[in-house]
Structure 1
Amino acid sequence: MWIGGEWVESASGEYFESDNPFLGKPWALIPKGNAQDADRAVRAAHRALTAGPWPKLTASQRGALLRKLA
């Protein structure tokens, strides 16, 4: 799973299979996230919004960046 700008293992270390509906066969392993993973993601999101370049941008600058991403 992607947390804090990097791929990380789930806290549980468990996965579930995602099936390809056309073939009826598994095609991916998805990490089973839990409350620990959610807390870690929320802390990373908070850091991203309060540190680094994002909070230094004006609302107009942030809006322009978001429009480019859309």
Structure 2
Amino acid sequence: MSKSCLMSSIHTGRPRRSSYDDRPRWLRRLEERREYELEMERELNLEVYEKEQEQMEQQQLEEWIIFRPKI
């Protein structure tokens, strides 16, 4: 065991792990909230985009029906 690892385990009572998050709880929660809000915004934007695509396809279909060549 390295000296720094040993010292940190003595100081904190637990071994130093790279997966341990040293950020304060409020900062982690703030970042989690931002990630959640961004994900919700992406989903909402995707829904809006899909609705616009459907409307555009419907409009193109209606225009094709109106202006289709007569056979």
- How does the TM-score come out when normalised to structure 2? 0.31
Higher share of residues assigned helix: 2
Higher strand share: 1
Q: Which has the larger radius of gyration?
A: 2
